[in-house]
A and B are shown apart, each in its own frame.
Chain A
């Protein structure tokens, strides 16, 4: 199984709503990521979890709250978003980097297309 599964595929939410994006992988990867991608732009890193601990937070506003309940799951909790937060949210996973060993290619899910109204 080389899939990263994201749910839902599409989400429309109001600015006062609370919603969550979910991501799941069963490849045994211990690094998981959230990226945000605006139309015609490259993905931008938001968060990195390594061994279920938050390793990198790219100064993301607190209205985005990540959670890694176990090694297979990654959530992104959304609250009080703004219309400019509308984007494609991509989850990815990879092996944790180990110096001298190889491969840290990332496997991406199909994304959740979020619209904030």
Chain B
């Protein structure tokens, strides 16, 4: 199976603190993406990092990728109550020109006011 793992499964922190989520995967990838999902509805794309990149920033988000360890981390700085959601990493594989995204198990993040 290509499916990866995320940890922690659940994370609860105080507003203003930083949140770090980790993702591991099993096979070589084309890219790794992070998504947010609120209340079991649609997923929102947060950030994409290519396999030849090591770090990427977007606003309060910082993503790292270590292809030698097959792992990635997502850091959310200065968390807000609105960041409460489930966060998924997704590894991207190119098969016959089409992209297959394989999602990790997800981290449920709760930001306490």
Chain A interface (Cβ within 8 Å of chain B)? 4, 31, 33, 37, 39, 41-45, 48-50, 55-56, 88, 90, 92, 94, 96-97, 102-111
Contact = CB atoms under 8 A, between A and B. Distances in A.
Contacts of A50: 96-98
A105 B33 contact: yes
Interface string B29-55: 011010100001111110010100000
Interface residues of B, number: 28
Given A103-B48, A106-B33, 13 more contacts: A43-B43, A43-B88, A45-B100, A45-B102, A56-B95, A56-B98, A88-B40, A90-B42, A94-B99, A104-B48, A104-B99, A106-B43, A110-B41
Given A42-B104, A42-B106, A106-B101, A55 B96 contact: yes
Which residue, of A43, A49, A50, A103, has the highest number of chain B Cβ atoms within 10 A?
A43
Contact of B45 (A37, A102, A107, A111): A107
7 contacts: A49-B98, A55-B97, A56-B96, A56-B100, A102-B50, A106-B33, A111-B41
Contacts of B98: 31, 48-50, 55-56, 96-97
A100 to B, nearest CB: 11
Q: Is chain A's binding surface mostly helix, strand, loop or mixed?
A: strand
Contacts of A41: 105
Contacts, number: 75
Nearest to A91: B42
B45 A97 contact: no
Interface of B: 3, 30-31, 33, 35, 40-45, 48, 50, 88, 92, 94-106
